[in-house]
Structure formats: structure tokens, C-alpha cells
């Protein structure tokens, strides 16, 4: 799909579930979500052991085409990019 310059694009926040067990993240970690999308961490980190209580995530748009993952029960978010 091509978009002409000046075209306004609106992104919505999505609320989904992780397809696996949450065990923290660092640059390079890839998360698969319940809709099949895969998101790779490009910035941020959070250390913990496997935590099966963390299932819900929010994909939130940022500025200039950036996206962030917010995890339930975790106060730190990860800057991510969609993996094809």
C-alpha cells in the first residue's frame, strides 16, 4: 500500500494477549501476540523470571510512527517495531 505525502494516518491502541509466557525483555526480544503479530523490542529492558500472570498487553502508537508495548503488572514499557 502506498500513501501520498501529507496523508494523515491514525493508529489506535490495541489490547491483546501474549501468545507465550512473559519473562522480561531487552533489545531484540520478540513477542508474539494473540492476533499473530510479532513485535521486536528496539529499546527498553525489564528483568524478571517467567511470570504467567502477565498476559495482557497494549500496543500504543507513539510519535513519528513509533510503537510501544505496555504489559499488565509491569511499569516499564518497551519501544517496539512490527516484524514481518
pLDDT at 13 over 80: yes
- pLDDT value at residue 56: 97
Q: pLDDT confidence of 2, banded at 50, 70, 90? A: confident
Antiparallel, parallel or unpaired: β 56-61 and 67-71: antiparallel
- pLDDT value at residue 5: 87
pLDDT at 3 over 90: no
- Under 8 Å between Cβ of 22 and 71: yes
27-83 pLDDT, tens digit each: 999 999 999 999 999 999 999 999 999 999 999 999 888 999 999 999 999 999 999
Residue extents of the structural domains in the chain:
14-83
Strand-pair partners of 51: 22
Query: How far is CA 1 from its chain centroid?
Result: 23
Amino acid at each position: 500500500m502506498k500513501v501520498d505525502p501529507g496523508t494523515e494516518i491514525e493508529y489506535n491502541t490495541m489490547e491483546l494477549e501474549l501468545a507465550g509466557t512473559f519473562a522480561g525483555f531487552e533489545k531484540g526480544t520478540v513477542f508474539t501476540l494473540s492476533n499473530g503479530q510479532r513485535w521486536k523490542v528496539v529499546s527498553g529492558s525489564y528483568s524478571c523470571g517467567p511470570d504467567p500472570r502477565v498476559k495482557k498487553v497494549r500496543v500504543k502508537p507513539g510519535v513519528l510512527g513509533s510503537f510501544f508495548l505496555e504489559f499488565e503488572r509491569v511499569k516499564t514499557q518497551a519501544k517496539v517495531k512490527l516484524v514481518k
